[in-house]
Structure 1
Amino acid sequence: MIGKLDPEALQTILDQTGASDPALLTGAAYGEDAAAIDLGDGETLVVSSDPVSLAAEAAGTIGVHVACNDIAAAGADPEFLTNVIFLPDDDAEVIETLTSQLDEAAADLGVTIVGGHTEYVPVLSRPLLSLTAFGRTDHHIPTSGAESGDRVLLTKGAAIEATGIIATDFADDLRDAGVDESTIDRAAGFFEEISILDDSRALRESATALHDPTEGGVRTGLVEMAAAADVDLVVDRESVPVRPETETVCAAMGIDPLGVFGSGALLATLPPAAVESARSRLAEAGIEAAVIGEVEAKAEAADSGALLLDGERITDGGTDELYPFWE
């Protein structure tokens, strides 16, 4: 078994999160990107941890951006990181690659790595990273804020992260499937767009909810947003932007672009009147975006909110479709 826990198993863990504190505004909950802690004087600290265990070629780069993206999706700029690295052995080249990637990605975002932990764990077959990011904001935006009547917006497109992973970790599989080198090179370049910090800055002013679609991609991200807000998200698959390189590499691997790692895109819900101004701000930042659906009140007989994708009611985003390729 690999990947996220199912919602029921996760809830068992969330129910045992320890002592509570009145300063905790948003705690551990299904779909929430980050915890939010009231610092007083209108300031909120947002905190999030994320691991990287499989993507080998760009693990350090992905680790920094995935952790910081969760802070951006909560309406804050990431400021600090702690970094835990578990190494299978003392391969100097691997250590140099990981640390160089971590340093470069953090510098690109203006984020300071303030500490962490590193050790050897021989039972591992590849490095395992876990990063915790911290940031402050005066306008925290939760995953759970979507309201009936809002529009659902997606920046950039589906499977940005997965496209880069496939083009690096599985380049030989793509070549065997007949994908040309220029497409593989362009797809590998998608890692350059994995940050959603600029996306978040353009949307914070008007978004009711933001969410970073990571493991499981856009499909799982939408399921999590719907569950967190207890609403239905009605989405048309044809409205979800999928870039040509993504279409090509996903087709070569036989996977759905909506069901694989989606970091680099940002999901948002906004009141209808705010959509055009939000898209204008994104365009000024050079970021493409599309309205892919709308928010409706939960179906009367339903136990929880859900994604309605082309009419199909989905309450479980399922396992990321890239995972079997690492087994």
Structure 2
Amino acid sequence: MPGKVSPDDLLTHVFGRTGETDETVIQGPAEGEDAAAIDWPGGTLVVSSDPISLAASQVGTLGVHIACNDVAASGADPRWLTVVLLLPADADSAALEAITTDLDTAAREVGASIVGGHSEYVDALERPLLSLTAMGATDSFVPTGGAEPGDRVILTKAAGLEGTAILAADFGDDLDVPEEIRDRALSFFEEISVASDARILREHATAMHDPTEGGVTAGLLEVGRASDVRLEIDREAIPIRSETRVLCAAAGVDPLTIFGSGALLGTVPADDCEACLEAFADAGLEAAEIGVVREGPAGLDIDGESVEGPITDGLYPLWSAADEDEDEDEDEDVVQGADTD
């Protein structure tokens, strides 16, 4: 099954193999930490890399926002991007035009400059593969692993926004969902950035995290494990939009375990929670208190039930099934076209 490398494998094979020790590294590779922090003359340089390979629609837009979200969720404003774009060998210039136009538009939206990268055509690919590195500067780095017992847990916007838009774009034709709901769900692509959310939340947060693969559930578990605390979450308190509920029900997936970009998780001291939520309301942005941070074994409880990882994103089986159907159709075409004389 595709998905992130497990925490155990990261610990065994990745985190101990990071080259030379550098005293300027404030935050290096660690479970749940999506960005590095490096001491430099301008303050703290935040760096994050992210790929996007399965979504068929708006990969350029998603790629920019997903990479920049990790920088924003660390307390920095995204400023620079490098892009690696690999295209299937049979892709035409129209595909390149569409992706690079989306990259340019999305970068302008977040105020970032694309400063370099690499592009090529690859025989082995069936769909575009995009990988971006985002960088930004801050005077106050906010880690994933900063949550403290007693903090309150906040979620901005709603769960599953990215996953909902992907369901509408990539699978909508196969789901029994009214067209107007699909159209509204597609508009969620316009809400993937959390830069505005982070500028408010970082003024109060002890920890911030961008829930991506595995959705809000995976994001919460990563905060708990990275912070060595236990998050107690009320599922009913988690905002879920009606479009998400309808599309997820039709696809048979959990809204809390599909790609969650567009929302931002944070923990804030209890005394700051009301002021933080008021700041979001004043800015016209959605945010909700969904739980509390406790001492105890590192991890996550939702409605009193322990959540064990790793979390597999609910969209992966849908993509796998779609690929299998496509292969079967190709095999059938070969058989029907065979010379049987």
Give the TM-score normalised by structure 1: 0.96
Contact 1:198 1:285 in 2 (8 A): no
| 2:296 aligned residue | 298
- What is the rounded CA distance, in whole Å, between the counterparts of 1:223 and 1:173 in structure 2? 32
Q: Which runs of 4+ in 1 moved over 3 A?
A: none
Contact 1:219 1:317 in 2 (8 A): no
| 2:315 aligned residue | 322
| 1:60 aligned residue | 60
SS in 1 for 2:57: coil
The residue identity in structure 2 corresponding to 1:61 is T
Q: Are 2:301 and 1:308 equivalent residues in the alignment?
A: yes
Q: Are 2:187 and 1:186 equivalent residues in the alignment?
A: no
Identity %: 56
- What is the rounded CA distance, in whole Å, between the counterparts of 1:78 and 1:181 in structure 2? 35
- What is the rounded CA distance, in whole Å, between the counterparts of 1:317 and 1:249 in structure 2? 24
Q: How does 1:124-273 map to 2 (within 5 A)?
A: 124-174=125-175, 177=176, 179-273=177-271
The residue identity in structure 1 corresponding to 2:63 is G
Pairwise CA distance, 1:318: 1.5
- What is the rounded CA distance, in whole Å, between the counterparts of 1:206 and 1:45 in structure 2? 20
CA RMSD of aligned residues (A): 1.0
Pairwise CA distance, 1:308: 0.7
The residue identity in structure 2 corresponding to 1:38 is D
Pairwise CA distance, 1:199: 0.4
- What is the rounded CA distance, in whole Å, between the counterparts of 1:118 and 1:259 in structure 2? 32
| 1:6 aligned residue | 6
Give the structure with higher Rg (CA): 2
Pairwise CA distance, 1:284: 2.1
The residue identity in structure 2 corresponding to 1:28 is P
Stretches of structure 1 lacking an aligned partner (at least 5 in a row): 300-304
Deviations 1:131-157 (A, max 9, x none): 000000001000000000000000001
Pairwise CA distance, 1:315: 3.5
- What is the rounded CA distance, in whole Å, between the counterparts of 1:207 and 1:317 in structure 2? 25
Count of residue pairs the alignment pairs up: 318
| 1:70 aligned residue | 70
Pairwise CA distance, 1:285: 2.1
Contact 2:6 2:310 in 1 (8 A): no
Q: Which moved more, 1:8-17 or 1:22-31?
A: 8-17
SS in 2 for 1:14: coil
- What is the rounded CA distance, in whole Å, between the counterparts of 1:181 and 1:315 in structure 2? 36
SS in 1 for 2:8: helix
284, 287, 290: which one aligns with 1:286: 284
Pairwise CA distance, 1:236: 1.0
Pairwise CA distance, 1:317: 3.9
Stretches of structure 2 lacking an aligned partner (at least 5 in a row): 321-341
- What is the rounded CA distance, in whole Å, between the counterparts of 1:317 and 1:185 in structure 2? 32
SS in 1 for 2:105: helix
Q: Which moved more, 1:308-317 or 1:69-78?
A: 308-317
Contact 1:211 1:268 in 2 (8 A): yes
Deviations 1:101-131 (A, max 9, x none): 1011001111100000011111011000000
Q: Which moved more, 1:271-280 or 1:206-215?
A: 271-280
Q: Are 2:93 and 1:92 equivalent residues in the alignment?
A: yes
Contact 1:26 1:36 in 2 (8 A): yes
- What is the rounded CA distance, in whole Å, between the counterparts of 2:229 and 2:156 in structure 1? 21
The residue identity in structure 2 corresponding to 1:105 is A
Pairwise CA distance, 1:71: 0.3
- What is the rounded CA distance, in whole Å, between the counterparts of 1:231 and 1:163 in structure 2? 30
Contact 1:207 1:270 in 2 (8 A): yes
The residue identity in structure 2 corresponding to 1:188 is L
